[in-house]
Structures are given as structure tokens and as C-alpha cells.
Amino acid sequence: MSAALPSRRGVVVPLTRPLRVSVVIKAYNVERHIRASIESAIAAVMPVGGEVILADSGSSDRTVEIAREYPVTIVQLRHAHEHRSGVGPQLGFQKARGEFVYILDGDMELDQGFLAEALRALDADSRLAGVAGLIDEQIGGRERRALERRVRSCEWLDMGGLYRAEALRHVGYFSNRNLHAHEEMELGLRLCAAGWTLRRIPRPGVRRHDRTDANRPLLKQRWQSRSLDGPGELIRAAVGRPYFYRTLQMQRHPLVGLLVWLGLLAGLALIPMSPWPLGAVLLALLGLVLVCARRTGSLRDAWFDQWVCQVTALAMVRGFLARPRDPTEPIEFLLVHDAQAPGETAPGAGPSF
């Protein structure tokens, strides 16, 4: 297969190697970062042979307009109300032709040498389903993601990774379209339950642009966008699966928050008989805050973390009760631009499946 990946400045670099990797960039209103993300993906895929696909979930800013300046395939979610974190990877996977698929967020930059290193690891181990690199992320100027900066075997690859397309087809689909969050966790659980393995290798993977830490406006936005529903949706998706109890263990914090809510309601109902049950629940809640304050070194942050836990617990119930769609169902999309075909398909001239 031969293709050409010109840069935005018009320099044409021909590709003569077989199509090995499809880099899927999932995007939603990331016009500030999409240039850097696309250019990093193009630079990373050139040495190994492949394609770049932008999977847009109905952006209302200039994300798609900017992406059209590049030789990338652009697919856009046909029904914007279906936007979820789990839609983007699956939408891009439907169009991907590579032997391996990398999922990249639109506010991240892919390290240029990562794909070659990851492919060597995947070629050496036929049961290895996915590989991720070390994460460079700053939040409010502080490093975080300690687990994503450690070389190890993993249950899931948070913050993106390179996956074997054969393994994704084996477990039915790439990402669960119903999930507003935790789509990588759900994928990892499915892969591991099917006998595949995942690994984080000693090589930089992606860099995520600096962003502010969690605060009350952000918490409100996540409630309204339903991204906090992810734990409940994840638990619902795991019902009847061999990893159900492991899923509950991984969502223990919102589950503890739910127990606190149930305890408060029971304590209020029992006040006419005795105030002690409500007092016991309030003391337990205070204990949780103090434990968190000892760990974080900030009583104020501990109170806010507990508030986040309680709000997430309510959202978890909402997510669990939401009616899911079949995750293997094709996602309807518009083919905005096909990098492999002459000319472009105008938005609205679909759907494609």
C-alpha cells in the first residue's frame, strides 16, 4: 500500500510500508489542541505505516474545520445527542483499516517514537492485546497519574494505548457506546477476561496539555454532561460478566458514598425513635473526611473530595438505571473527509456504517 501524508505546510512524505497502525483521535470541542494532536499523530504514524482518523462527536467549535486542513479521514457522529466518551473510539474503529489501533484524545500529543516500540512489544507476544506508554500530564502545574508513569502489567490502559485489532474483534467491540466514562476500564476488563494481557512499557506515550484541577464548576459541568454516570453505567455493563465483582471493587468509592446516602436516609427516618443512628452515620462521614485529610494534607480538599464522592454516588445510580443500547450496534456517522479517496464527502451525505 502506498499513501502520502503531507504536513500542513505542504511537504509530501510518501508511505510505502503496509498499513500497520490506525491512529484514532477522539475529539469533542478541542479546537485549542487539535492541531498539535493531529500533527503528533501524523508524525508518529509515518515511520511505521498507517492512517489517522478523527472521530468527532459533534463538535460545535472549529475542531472539524481545522482537521480538514490535514490528510486525515474525518468521521462525525450523525446524532450529536449520542455523544459519550465510549462513542469516539468505537466510531473511529468502524473506519479503521490498520492491524493495530491507537486511541488518542484530542487534547493529547502522541510521542513520535512510541508506536515503533509498542509494535515490537506486540509482535513479540501474541497474547498481548494492548500497550501504553508513560504519561506526561500536569494538572494545575502539578504532576499526577502516578500509576500511568509506572512500567507494569495492567488491567486496563488509561489515557490511551495501541491495541491489536484482532483482540478488539475477539471481544466484540472497541469501546462501549453507552459509557460516559471508564470506557478504557471496561475494555480492559473484557480483554483480560478473554485471556489477553495489557502492558505499560518504559517509553513516553502521550503528553496531555495542562488543565486546572477539579473544582465546583467542573463538578457541576460533569454532573450536567453525565460524565459522572460512568461508574453506574460500568457496573450495569458488567452484570452477568465474569468481572462483575472486580468492577464493584474498582468502584468502591462511589459505592461507599451510596452507603452514606442510605445511612443518612435511614438515620433521618429513625429520628422519632432515636437520634443515635443518624449520629453514627455523621461520625462515620467525619471519619472518612479525616482519613482523606491525613492522606492529602488538606482538610479543605478532604471535604471537597467527600462531596465529590457523594455527588458521584447519586450519578452512579442514575447511570445504572439508564437503559443501554447494544454496544455491538453500528454507530451512525457522516463521512466528512476520506483521506484515501479523491475529493470529499460533504457533511450530511450519509449515513455510513
Give the start-to-end residue ranges of the domains of the chain: 3-213+331-337
In this structure, is the dihedral angle defined by the CA atoms of residues 97, 85, 327 and 115, taken in order, positive or negative?
positive
Backbone angles phi and psi of 101, in degrees to 5:
-130, 125
In this structure, is the dihedral angle defined by the CA atoms of residues 148, 150, 155 and 157, taken in order, positive or negative?
positive
User: What are the pLDDT digits (tens) for 61-85?
Assistant: 999 999 999 999 999 999 999 999 9
Answer CATH for 3-213+331-337 from 3.40.50.300, 3.90.226.10, 3.90.550.10, 3.40.50.920:
3.90.550.10
In this structure, is the dihedral angle defined by the CA atoms of residues 143, 149, 150 and 154, taken in order, positive or negative?
positive
- Picking from 112, 134, 95, 137, the residue whose alpha carbon sits closest to that of residue 41 is 112
Q: How confident is the model over 341-349, as a mean pLDDT?
A: 44
51 in Cβ contact with 22 (< 8 Å)? yes
Task: Take residue 100 and report the three cell numbers written for it.
Answer: 493495530
pLDDT given for residue 148 in this prediction: 52
pLDDT given for residue 298 in this prediction: 87
Task: Take residue 178 and report the three cell numbers written for it.
Answer: 453507552
Task: Take residue 283 and report the three cell numbers written for it.
Answer: 461520625
Helices 230-238 and 183-193 pack at an angle, to 10 degrees, of 20
CA dist 36 and 32 (Å) reads 9
CA dist 139 and 87 (Å) reads 25
**Range in 8-12, 133-137, 180-184, 231-235 with the lowest mean pLDDT:** 8-12
- Check pLDDT > 70 for residue 344: no
Q: Say how many CA atoms lie within 13 Å of 96 toward its Cβ.
A: 33
pLDDT given for residue 151 in this prediction: 64
CA dist 318 and 312 (Å) reads 10
Task: Take residue 278 and report the three cell numbers written for it.
Answer: 443518624
In this predicted model, which residue has the larger pLDDT, 149 or 268?
268
Q: Please list the residues that pair with 154 across neighbouring strands.
A: 198
26 in Cβ contact with 41 (< 8 Å)? no
User: What are the pLDDT digits (tens) for 130-153?
Assistant: 999 998 765 444 444 455 556 678
In this predicted model, which residue has the larger pLDDT, 18 or 200?
200
Task: Take residue 14 and report the three cell numbers written for it.
Answer: 510518501
Helix residue spans in 3-113 (DSSP H): 34-45, 63-67, 87-95
Task: Take residue 190 and report the three cell numbers written for it.
Answer: 473484557
How far apart, in Å, do the first and last CA atoms of the chain sit? 24
User: Which range, 49-53, 155-159, 204-208, 293-297, is most confident?
Assistant: 49-53
